[in-house]
């Protein structure tokens, strides 16, 4: 199970790195466009274009901040210590699916099994957090039993 946790963790890391790269590339592209817009002399059209690029840069800045938060959360994930209680870094196998409590990435396949990498602040993450083997809870009208925590 240690190998599976490491694989899931690395997939989450790759997700964050890819997202940061895309956002930083977008930021560079916007900056390049802003620089070329300053050379234009089209009057009102020029000002509208610059305003749109400024808004896009602010939106991209928010996305960059969110991606950095994901990276920060991921850095707190401890995949090496064992716990019988579901916590950040746990793999939780239930009657309805397998979950990796980390960041919200979605479906990840590891060792030919499907896992859902989820944040602890998601609705199901909140329900799983602090639970132990054999406990059950209700989610989306279904009773879910925790079969094992790694």
Please spell the DSSP secondary structure of 18-65, one letter per residue: HHHHHHHHHHHHHHHHHHHHTT---THHHHHHHHHHHHHHHHHHHHHH
**Coil, strand, or helix at residue 68?**
helix
Give tens-digit pLDDT for 92-127. 999 999 999 999 999 999 989 999 999 999 999 999
What's the pTM?
0.83
User: What's the pLDDT band for 43 if we cut at 50, 70, 90?
Assistant: low
* pLDDT for res 39: 53
């Amino acid at each position: 199970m240690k190998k599976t946790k490491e694989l899931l963790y690395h997939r989450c890391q790759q997700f964050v790195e890819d997202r940061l790269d895309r956002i930083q590339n977008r930021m560079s592209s916007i900056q390049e466009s802003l620089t070329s817009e300053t050379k234009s002399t089209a009057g009102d059209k020029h000002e509208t274009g610059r305003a749109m690029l400024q808004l896009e840069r602010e939106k991209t800045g928010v996305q960059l901040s969110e991606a950095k938060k994901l990276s920060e959360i991921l850095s707190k994930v401890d995949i090496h210590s064992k716990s019988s209680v579901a916590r950040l870094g746990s793999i939780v196998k239930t009657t309805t699916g397998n979950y990796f409590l980390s960041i919200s990435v979605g479906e990840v396949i590891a060792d030919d099994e499907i896992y859902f990498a989820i944040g602890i602040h998601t609705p199901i993450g909140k329900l799983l957090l602090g639970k132990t083997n054999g406990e059950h809870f209700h989610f989306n009208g279904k009773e879910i039993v925790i079969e094992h925590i790694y």
